[in-house]
Structure 1
């Protein structure tokens, strides 16, 4: 199915968020189901979430994919901040925007998140039951990921707080990298974990590199991530139908473990987890065969639940 792409903005927390609205050619003149597509940490709308947004639009859903506040082409300060509460609020505001469109059925809005975007999608759905169905692809709880990768949480929290104080008093922002900035940096680091290796291949090479995803993180936002649990109260508040998709090749980002945990904890009466054999975290970002399998599963899931 042919789709029309519209570059738009929507308001969030007093600033504007940059987004792309994907509209199937058959959507005009009727009320349609819609999906909010949420990108991973460090990512942008042109990367993996954009791939899923386009493919789901080709299957009949109006989709919106956007750059997180303070990142990419979106407004918001401080730049390169990763604030889970704001990331979740961005999703609420994307839903707000969709409800203003004549071509959207307000009772048929779902969310689809990739990696940390999956965790944020879950978190947003728990506090926003306008979201009627939740899908995650290699969904990860970014708080857990950061806590497990942090050598000393207490010291990092202290340092991040001091840096925030310094910046509000005029110091230059402290910007760090999410991952090694090149394959050469990766080799020097000695890191061999599959998720880190494939992250470098995805984000720093022509495979997935984008100017709106510059591998920059405001260090002072570490305190917000380290204290965040994307799945908090899932056993009480996550009641919408839930589709989880993961690969069984496990790495440091732990999306397989998070998928299993979310499946067990979710209060959803309708929930399913699809484990793709021989598939890694980053295979499900952009590799044709695993992505096609994920899209097929998601399409049937949303058809049943939106």
Structure 2
């Protein structure tokens, strides 16, 4: 049976559908059983960017079926209100995607892994603890979004931020216009004009707001009135007890404000997994690991053998 290398599908979530791209391995045969990996996109990203076109494609070429979903409320997926970045829904998405995978005759339901990139690294950690159908977990420059929202993303004043979010939500349900924040400057030139030199913010702008990584749905917008959920959330809560699956963490050693390097080592230290490793891409940053060939190769040279061993 011949099948295109990528198929776009729609799968049911709670009361809406999730859009996803499935990347097939070379020589795919639908009568056979394959291990599968869910590749989850960064915060503000979409399935066409690093989680799909870089990591999804490469892992599929190594012999896996890879499914790359758009988050609920974002991208081509359904759900209202739009631009909702709610960790509880992002974590649940993994289970809905697995519900779909286990119905596919060519997927081995006992060999399903997860990969989370940037903020989805934290989401994948949190999902894997309780979604026991995930048998192996990889993260690439994974960050704990809850920690970020308690710290830098709320100006280190989370209580004041939540008060403002609460007031905005009340205003919106009474008819005010929704407040949707652009999380990045409109262009690298604008970031330079604003004097933004912090490595993660500057490089995020360069990736998302230039031809290097720009995609229709990779818009980096967030609905302000619902961000309080993230302020009160912690990706790593109970990892000492519940995260027992094999774990492969990839980080760059040029740390930035988003804290993936710090979070990677915290996860390594705390996770209950007996089989766990951290791979440091020396001389590379958070956003280098999105698409630059040399650091991506470092990540894949660890992740692909890891999934081959455990799936």
The TM-score bracket by the shorter chain reads: over 0.9
Unaligned runs of at least 5 residues, structure 2: none
- 3-state SS of the aligned residue for 1:52? helix
Alignment match of 1:49 (pick from 40, 48, 51): 51
Contact 1:3 1:57 survives alignment (8 Å): no
Task: Encode CA deviations 1:162-217: one digit per residue, 9 max, x unaligned.
Answer: 21122222221101111222223312332211111100000000000111012321
1:201 alignment partner in structure 2? 206
* Alignment length (residue pairs): 305
SS at match of 1:145: helix
Where does structure 1 differ by over 6 angstroms across 4 or more consecutive aligned residues? none
CA distance in 1 between counterparts of 2:14 and 2:127 reads 15
CA shift, 1:20, in A, is 0.3
State whether residues 41 and 82 of structure 1, in contact with CA within 8 Å, keep that contact through their aligned partners in structure 2: yes
Q: 2:246, 2:107 → 1: CA distance?
A: 20
- Cα gap change, 1:183 to 1:25, in 2 (>3 Å): closer
Unaligned runs of 5+ in 1: none
Partner of 1:191: 196
Match of 1:4 in 2: 5
2:230 paired residue number: 225
Give the Cα separation in 2 of the matches to 1:55 and 1:189: 36
Q: Does structure 2 retain, via aligned residues, the 8 Å contact 1:181–1:215?
A: no
Kindly report the root-mean-square deviation, in angstroms, between the aligned alpha carbons of the 2 structures.
1.2
For 1:167 and 1:188, the matched residues in 2 are separated by: 33
Q: Deviations along 1:42-89, whole A, 9 cap, x unmatched? A: 000011111201110000000000111111111101101100000001
Contact 1:20 1:64 (C-alpha < 8 Å) held by counterparts: yes
Q: Provide the residue aligned with 1:76 in structure 2.
A: 79
Q: CA deviation at 1:3?
A: 6.5
Contact 2:43 2:220 (8 Å CA) reproduced: no
Q: Please tell me whether residue 258 in structure 1 is matched to residue 270 in structure 2.
A: no
Out of 112, 121, 124, the position equivalent to 2:115 is 112
**Residue matched to 1:282:** 287
Q: TM-score, structure 2 length as denominator?
A: 0.96
Does 1:121 pair with 2:124?
A: yes
Q: Give the Cα–Cα distance (whole angstroms) in 2 for the partners of residues 183 and 269 of structure 1.
A: 43
Alpha carbons 1:245, 1:273 under 8 Å: kept: yes
How far apart are 1:101 and its partner, in Å? 0.2
Say if 1:144 and 1:58 are closer, same or farther in 2 by CA, change over 3 A: same
